[in-house]
Amino acid sequence: MHAVLLKPLPVANPGELYRIGKETRCCYLSGYSQDQEFSLVSYDLYKYLRDHTKGFSELAAFPSAQHLFGVRRSGSSQETQSYPGEFVSGNSFTMFGIRAYAGRTLTAEDDRPGAPPVAVMSYRLWEQSYGSDPSVVGSVFKLNDRAFTMVGITPPGFFGDTLRGTPPDFFLPLNTEPFVESAADLQKYDTHWLALIGRIQPDARPASIEAEMRVALKQWLRSHWDEMSANDRAKFPEQTLFLSPGGAGITSMREQYEHWLLILMMVSGFVLLIVCANVANLMLVRGMERRRQTALSMALGARASRVVRLALTESLLLSLFGGAAGLAIAFAGTRLILHFAFPSLPGSAGVPIDASPSVPVLLFAFVTSLLTGVAFGLAPAWMTTRVDPIEALRGASRSTTRAGLLPKKALVVSQVALSLVLLSVSGLLTAALQSLENQNFGFEQDQRFVATIDPRLAGYRTDQLSPLYRRIHDAIASMPAVSSVALCLYSPQGRGGWGAGVWVDGHLPPGPKDDNSASWDRVTAGYFDVIGTPIIKGRGISEQDTAISRNVAVIDQAFARTFSETKIRLANTSAGSREPAVNSRWLASPKMHAI
């Protein structure tokens, strides 16, 4: 809770940071309109907003999707290794107000066309893979077979503007994106793939900056009026943007896990109350067993406050010792959770979630233990004073029993009620998890394995991919333990995907309010047989479907119900697509999944 929802970014004055958009989005949006809000922008729109917004001292840009680079140190005999990284605007480190641990950070001069390609390495990678070797700074590294000079090391714990998958190990200037990537999204006005975060000036108000940016957005859109489609023009009045705090917590993880973390905290509260009620009952029983000793003490002149203090001291010591033991188990459990959440990072190294004791977490545990000790120690302490010395010494304890009956009943009833609520919630969650586990996704999962292939990391060119993928396909298919294999651009239930605007050929294009979006994938022959999805009508993709044959597609039942005709046309200006929507040359894709 503290690390994901409350802990600020490890940067200077995080309260001054604001990001564009109420929610983070991924990964590419095309066109000149976005639903609900503009949360991703093109590089051209970023520059326009940066130059026409006065309330920010710095406005920086970051890609909404994480990149993977093939990295090898020049002159080294080691093979190319895959590391996550991202392109950032040259003013990003200045905007965060951080300095390099070694060397220097990126500057605005590094982020201009034609500048020498430079990069910054993360402290984690520098320490773990290069043994904190100072000679790394100034050395040349090959990233996707492109030479970059390593000019600095980031400070420990820094992971950029937010956490996308695993923390990035390399930071490259935005203007090197066309140099590294073949897509060259930097040069496309209508391809929105950048998230923005800025630091407001001390005397600026976020509401005024938000209004100023909305005006700038409309001005930029009007400058591209001739390039807009009819749908974009119809949606023009609705286009807007919002500012939201950008310095608290890990934004992407907070949006993904906030709801479930709050549920877990509520469940933890129920468990705490149940345990406290149970311990309070045990302490009541213990106090009643000691009633004669207590009665004798009070008969000899012991004050009631001293007796209460003794009972409260026992309760507080018990709760504090329990809190200390709970802390030890909690931190061990947190490390276990991080191990499962980030299996690619050994020992959860580099994950910006600190499982070690911190002052806010220790203070929270201490206050919680103290309050529970006082709250649930008051009833036993109060019961110890409700003793009639004469009756207790005579052995007649009816009055003591009657006095303790109501508090005991109240604690038992509370314990049973809380246990029933917790048991019901646990049963519902268990049933939901079982339903999700046994859900029919439309494909077989048993004995299916997915391997991700990205030859760009090893320096392969686009014209080399077709024969390479064919060799990979044939090599896997020849393995004795493999019954079938297919290649696809996106694996089932995998991350990422492209979508396109679709309408029936011969009919009017959809209106601005019509939802005609559809997701698509590009696959090789035999794909549906490999994943175990039957073709209920027609046929699947075959070897005869090539780059020079007639363009064909296979649709699902939901698509068939939406469109009554099977002859369709895909819009070339498709939302979320970086290439023509009709392209049967699947082998030209730079990244593939082998199933």
Which one of 374, 401, 436 terminates a domain?
436
Both structure tokens of 436: 């999700």
Higher pLDDT among residues 442 and 217, named by residue:
217
For position 584, what pLDDT does the model report?
29
Domain membership flag for residue 321: yes
One domain, residues 258 and 363:
yes
| 446 within some domain | no
Residue 445 lies in a domain: no
Residue 28 located in a structural domain: yes
Over the stretch 67-102, which tens digit does the pLDDT of each residue have? 888 898 988 878 888 888 999 999 999 999 989 999
Residues in the chain: 595
pLDDT bin (cut points 50, 70, 90) of residue 211 is very high
Per the model's pLDDT, the better-predicted residue between 462 and 131 turns out to be: 131
Say whether both 414 and 530 belong to one domain: no
Mean pLDDT across the chain, nearest whole number? Answer: 80
Closest of 420, 398, 401, 397 to residue 409, by C-alpha: 401
Q: For residue 103, which phi and psi values (nearest 5 degrees)?
A: 75, -135
Tokens of 195: 């998230």
Model confidence at 347: pLDDT above 70: no
pTM: 0.73
pLDDT tens digits, 488-522:
888 887 766 777 778 777 777 776 667 777 888 88
SS3 per-residue string spanning 63-115: ECCCEEEEEEECCCCCCCEEEEEEEECCCHHHHHCCCCCEECCCCCCCCCCCC
Q: Round the CA-based radius of gyration of the chain to a whole number and report it.
A: 32
- CB-CB contact of 528 with 534 (8 Å): yes
Flag whether pLDDT at 581 surpasses 50.
no
- Do 91 and 45 belong together in one domain? yes
Query: In this structure, are 530 and 432 located in the same domain?
Result: no
**For residue 585, is pLDDT > 60?**
no
pLDDT in tens, 305-345: 787 788 888 888 888 898 888 888 888 887 777 777 666 55
End of a domain among 212, 245, 278? 245
Calpha distance 151→103 (Å, rounded): 6
pLDDT at residue 165 above 70?
A: no
Is residue 444 assigned to a domain? no
Q: Which of 24-28, 162-166, 303-307, 560-564 has the lowest mean pLDDT?
A: 162-166
User: Does the pLDDT of residue 219 top 90, yes or no?
Assistant: yes
Cβ-based neighbour number of residue 87 at 10 Å: 26
In a domain, 37, yes or no: yes
Residue 87 pLDDT: 92
Cα separation values, 13 from 149, 198, 247, 248, 561, Å = 30, 12, 8, 11, 53
Buried b (16+ CB within 10 A) or exposed e, 250-287: bbbbbeebeeeeeeeeeeeebeebbbbbebbbebbeeb
| Whether residues 431 and 335 fall in one domain | yes
**Mean pLDDT confidence for 460-485:** 88
Q: Give the pLDDT band (50/70/90) at residue 578.
A: very low
**Is 179 in contact with 146 (CB distance < 8 Å)?**
yes
Q: Which sign, positive or negative, has the C-alpha torsion 359, 365, 368, 374? A: negative
Q: What is the pLDDT of residues 392-402, one digit of tens each?
A: 556 544 544 45
Query: Does 220 fall in a domain?
Result: yes
- Note whether 89 and 203 are same-domain residues: yes
Confidence grade of residue 240 (pLDDT, cut at 50, 70, 90)? very high
- Give the end of a domain, one of 245, 278, 310: 245
Please tell me the distance from the alpha carbon of residue 479 to that of residue 468, in angstroms, as a whole number. Answer: 17
**Are 383 and 489 within one domain?**
no
Output 555 or 442, whichever has higher pLDDT. 555
- Residue 199 sits in the same domain as residue 298: no
DSSP state string for 122-177:
-HHHHHHHHTT-GGGTT-EEEETTEEEEEEEEPPTT---SS--SSPPSEEEEGGGH
Listing DSSP states for 29-69 in one string gives EESS--SS----B-HHHHHHHHHH--SEEEEEEEESS-EEE
Q: How far apart are CA 275 and CA 185, in angstroms?
A: 57
User: pLDDT-derived band of residue 575, with 50, 70 and 90 as boundaries?
Assistant: very low
Task: Tell me: pLDDT of 451 over 90.
Answer: no
Q: For the purposes of burial, counting CB atoms within 10 Å of the CB of 411, is it exposed (0-12), middle (13-18) or buried (19 or more)?
A: buried
At residue 119, does pLDDT exceed 90? yes
Let me know if 63 is exposed, middle or buried by CB neighbors in 10 A (0-12, 13-18, 19+). buried
- Both 365 and 466 in a single domain? no
134-146: pLDDT as tens digits: 999 999 999 988 8
Nearest to 590 by CA among 471, 452, 483: 452
pLDDT category, 475, cuts 50, 70, 90?
very high
Q: What percent of the chain has pLDDT over 70?
A: 84
The reply to whether 7 and 145 lie within a common domain is yes
Is the pLDDT at 178 greater than 60? The verdict is yes
Give the Cα separation of 124 and 131 in Å (integer): 10
Q: Which amino acid is at 243?
A: L
> What domain range includes position 379?
251-436
Please check whether residues 97 and 173 belong to one and the same domain: yes
Greater model confidence, 5 or 531: 531
Cβ pair 2, 360 in contact under 8 A = yes
Q: What is the DSSP letter of 15?
A: G
Three-state SS at 462: helix
**Between residues 426 and 349, which one has the greater pLDDT?**
426
Residue 441 lies in a domain: no
Query: Is the bond into 27 cis (omega within 30 degrees of 0)?
Result: yes
The reply to whether 500 and 398 lie within a common domain is no
**Three-state secondary structure call for residue 504:** strand
- Answer for the pair 72, 207: CB distance below 8 angstroms, yes or no: no
518 CB-near residues (< 8 Å, 6+ apart): 499, 500, 501, 502, 559
Sign of the CA dihedral running 537, 541, 543, 548: positive
With 60 as the cut, is the pLDDT of residue 370 above it? yes
pLDDT, tens digit, 9 for 90 and up, residues 282-304: 877 777 777 777 777 777 777 77
pLDDT 10s digits, 269-278: 888 888 887 8
Average pLDDT over residues 163-191: 82
**How many Cβ atoms from other residues are within 10 Å of residue 361's Cβ?**
21
Q: How many domains does the chain have?
A: 3
